[in-house]
Structure 1
Amino acid sequence: MFLAWNEIKRNKLKFSLIIGVLIMISYLLFLLSGLASGLINMNREGIDKWQADAIVLNKDANQTVEQSIFNEKDVKDTYNKQTTLKQSGVIVSNGNVEENALLFGVTDNSFLIPKMIEGKKFTSNNEVIADETLKEKNFKIGDHLSLSQSDEKLKIVGFSESAKYNASPVLFANNQTIEKINASLGQNKTNAVVVKDKHWKDKHVNNDLEAIEIESFVKNLPGYQAQNLTLTFMISFLFVISATVIGIFLYVITLQKTNLFGVLKAQGFTNGYLAKVVLSQTLIIAMIGTVIGLLLTLITGAFLPSAVPIKFSAVTLVVYGVVLILVSLIGSLFSILTIRKVDPLKAIG
C-alpha cells in the first residue's frame, strides 16, 4: 500500500485522469440509482401506504383498476379487513393550475387514506383530500376545483401525505362524489376491493373476479417493469464500462512500466507482491473516485427541483459503491496478468 500510494503521488496527472473518469461514472451511476428509486416510488408510493395484502379485481380487467367494475356484494364480508376502491382519472384546475390526477372514491374511515398533514377529512359530498404533491403545485385548502369531464365542482378540505399512484397525484372523496362524476360507478358498484388479510389465499371469490397479491399487482402497473428494466440495464452497463475503463488505463500504465517491473523482479520482488501493488493502487483510486462521485451526487440531489423523481437509498448507494470498487479491482486483473509475463532479462535489455 505504501509503494502504491507513493507512486500515485509521484504520477498525479496519470492517476488523476483515471480518478476523473471514475468520478464521472460513479456520479452517473448514483444519479441513475436515485432516478430508478424515484420512479419506482412514484408508481407505488400510495399503494405501499395501504399496507394491504391483496386486491380483488374483475378477471377481464387485465389487472387495471379503472377497467374493473363489479358489484360490491360479490366480495362482501369475504375477508377479515377489506375496503372498496372506486377510481376515475380526472383533469382538475383551481383557476391557475391544471393537473392530471386520479380521484379515489373511498369510505370516510378507509385505510386507503394516508396520514393527514393539514386540514381535515371530507365530511360531505364534493369535498376532497389531496395528497401533498398537489400542494407543491400551488393547490391550497379551500380551492374549488373544476373538472374537464364534469360540471361538478370539488373543494379541497385537507392534504394527506404524498400518495402517488402510477405516477399520478391522488384526490380522495366519498363514494357519492365519484358516482356523480363517473356514471358507470353507480350505487353498489366498485372498481376494486383492497384486502388486509394474511390468509386471503384461503378465501374464495366469485368466478368472474380474481384476488391478486399486492406485489404482483404493482409489478403489472402500466410502465412499471419497462422503466425498471431499462434503468437496471443502464446501471449494469455502467459497471461493465467502469471495469473496462479501469482495465484499459491500468494496462497502458503497466506497459509503460514494463522495464521497471523487470528491474523489481530482478531484485527479488515476486509476482504476488507486484500484483498486490496494482490491486492497492486500484483500490485507492476506486475509493477516491467513488467517494467524490457520491458527494457530488448528494449535492446535486439537494438542488434538484421536486419535479425530478429522484430518491436516494443509503443502502443502495453503499451497495453500488462497494460493487463499483469490486468491479474496478476486477478490471485491474488484465494488468496483473501482464506483470506475470514480464521477463526480467528482456525488460532490462
Structure 2
Amino acid sequence: MFLAWNEMKRNKLKFGLIIGVLIMISYLLFLLSGLANGLINMNREGIDKWHADAIVLNKDANQTVEQSIFDKKEADHTFKKSTLLKQTGVIVSNGKKEENALLFGVSKNSFLMPKIIQGHKFTKDNQVVADETLKEKGFKVGDQLSLSQSDEKLKIVGFSESAKYNASPVLFSNYHTLQEINPKMTTDKTNAVVVRDKHWKDEKLNSDLEAIGIEDFVQNLPGYKAQNLTLNFMITFLFIISATVIGIFLYVITLQKTNLFGVLKAQGFTNGYLAKVVLAQTFIIALIGTLIGLALTLLTGLFLPSAVPVAFNPVTLVIYGIVLIVVSLVGSLFSILTIRKVDPLKAIG
C-alpha cells in the first residue's frame, strides 16, 4: 500500500485522469440507479401502500384493472379481508392546471385509502382526496375540479401521501361519485377486488375471474417490466465499461513501467508483492472515484425538480459502490498477468 500510494502521489496527473473517468462513471451509475428506483416507485407506490396479498380481476382483462368489469357478488366476501376497487381515467382541471389522473372509487375506511396529510377524507358525493402529487402540481384543498368527459364537478377536500398508480396521480372518492362519472360502473359492478388474505390461493373463484398475487400484478403493469429491464441493462453495461476502462488504463501504465518492474524483480520483489501493489492502486483509485461520484450524486439530488422521478435507496447505493470497486479490481487482473510475464534480464536490457 505504501509503494502504491507514493507512486500515485508522484504521478498525480496520470492517476488523476483515471480517477476522473471513474468519478464520471460512478456518478452516472448512481444517478441511473436513483432514476430506476424513482420510476419503480412511480408505478407501484400506491399499490405498495395497500399491503395487499392479491387482486381479483376478470380473466379477459389482461390483468388491467380498468378493463376488468364483473359482478361484485362473484368475489366480494370470498376472502378473509377484501375490498372493492373501482377505477376510471379522468382529465381534471382547477381552471389553472389540467392533469391526467385516475379516479378510484373506494370505501373511505378501507385499506386502499392512504394516510391523509392535509384536510380530511371524503364524506359525501363528489368530494375527493387527491394524492400529494397533485398538490405539488398546484392543486389545493377547496379546488373545484371540472372533468373533460363529464359534467360532474369534484371538490378536493384533502390530500393523502403520494400514492401514484402506474405513474399517474390518484383521486379517491366514493363508489357513487365514480358511477356518476362512469355509468358503466353500476352499483353491482366492480373493476377489482383487492385481497388481504395469506391463504388467497385456497379460495375458489368463478371461472370468469382470476386471483393474481400482488407482486405478479405489479410486474405486469403496462411498461413496468420493459422500463426496468432497460435501465438494468444500462447499469450492467456501466459496470462492464468501468472494468474495461480501468483495465486499459492500468495495462498501459504497466507497459510503461516494464523496465521498473524488471528492476524490482531483479532486486527480489516477487510477482505476488507487485500484484498487491497494482491491486492496492486500483482499490485506492476506485474508492476515491466512487466516493466522489456518490457525493456528487447526492448533491445533485438536492437540486433536482420534483418532476424528475429520482429516489435514492441507501442500500442500493452501497451495493453498487462495492460492486463498482470489485469490477475495477477485476479489470486490473490484465496488468497483473502482464507483470508475471516480465523477464528481469530482458527488461533491464
* TM-score, structure 1 as length reference: 1.00
For structure 2, the residue ranges without an aligned partner over 5 or more in a row are none
CA distance in 1, matches of 2:306, 2:295: 20
Report what 2:255 is aligned to. 255
Q: How does 1:179-190 map to 2 (within 5 A)?
A: 179-190=179-190
CA distance in 2, matches of 1:49, 1:187: 26
Deviation string, structure 1 residues 123-180 (Cα, Å, up to 9, x no partner): 1100000000100011000000000000000000000000000000000000000000
| Secondary structure in 2 matching 1:66 | coil
CA distance in 1, matches of 2:264, 2:223: 58
Deviation string, structure 1 residues 275-324 (Cα, Å, up to 9, x no partner): 00000000000000000000000000010000000000000000000000
Letter in 1 for 2:153: K
State the 1:109 CA deviation.
1.1
CA distance in 2, matches of 1:136, 1:107: 25
State the 1:340 CA deviation.
0.4
Report what 1:215 is aligned to. 215
CA distance in 2, matches of 1:108, 1:257: 73
Report what 1:315 is aligned to. 315
Higher mean displacement: 76-85 or 312-321 = 76-85
| Secondary structure in 2 matching 1:65 | coil
Structure 1: 4+ residue segments shifted above 2 A? none
CA distance in 1, matches of 2:316, 2:77: 41
Letter in 2 for 1:227: Q
Report what 1:10 is aligned to. 10
| Secondary structure in 2 matching 1:123 | coil
State the 1:187 CA deviation.
1.2
Q: How does 1:117-266 map to 2 (within 5 A)?
A: 117-266=117-266
CA distance in 1, matches of 2:204, 2:116: 34
Report what 2:86 is aligned to. 86
| Secondary structure in 1 matching 2:129 | strand
Higher mean displacement: 73-82 or 249-258 = 73-82
CA distance in 2, matches of 1:327, 1:175: 54
Letter in 1 for 2:11: N
CA distance in 1, matches of 2:75, 2:107: 16
Letter in 2 for 1:135: K
Report what 1:298 is aligned to. 298
Q: 2:18, 2:285 within 8 Å by CA — same for their partners in 1? A: yes
Asked if 1:64 is matched to 2:68, the reply is no
CA distance in 2, matches of 1:108, 1:118: 15
State the 1:23 CA deviation.
0.1
CA distance in 2, matches of 1:107, 1:309: 30
CA distance in 1, matches of 2:283, 2:69: 58
Letter in 1 for 2:33: S
| Secondary structure in 1 matching 2:77 | coil
Report what 2:283 is aligned to. 283
CA distance in 2, matches of 1:75, 1:17: 64
State the 1:108 CA deviation.
1.8
The percentage of counterpart residues that share the same residue type is: 80
State the 1:336 CA deviation.
0.3
Report what 1:31 is aligned to. 31
Report what 2:330 is aligned to. 330
Q: 2:146, 2:152 within 8 Å by CA — same for their partners in 1? A: yes
Report what 1:43 is aligned to. 43
CA distance in 1, matches of 2:253, 2:188: 75
Report what 2:342 is aligned to. 342
Deviation string, structure 1 residues 213-254 (Cα, Å, up to 9, x no partner): 000000000000001000000000000000000000000000
* TM-score, structure 2 as length reference: 1.00
Letter in 1 for 2:303: F
CA distance in 2, matches of 1:212, 1:251: 53
| Secondary structure in 1 matching 2:207 | coil
CA distance in 1, matches of 2:163, 2:76: 26
Deviation string, structure 1 residues 46-105 (Cα, Å, up to 9, x no partner): 000000000000000000000000001111210011000000000000000000000000
CA distance in 1, matches of 2:52, 2:268: 67
Q: In the comparison of the two structures, how many residue pairs are matched?
A: 349
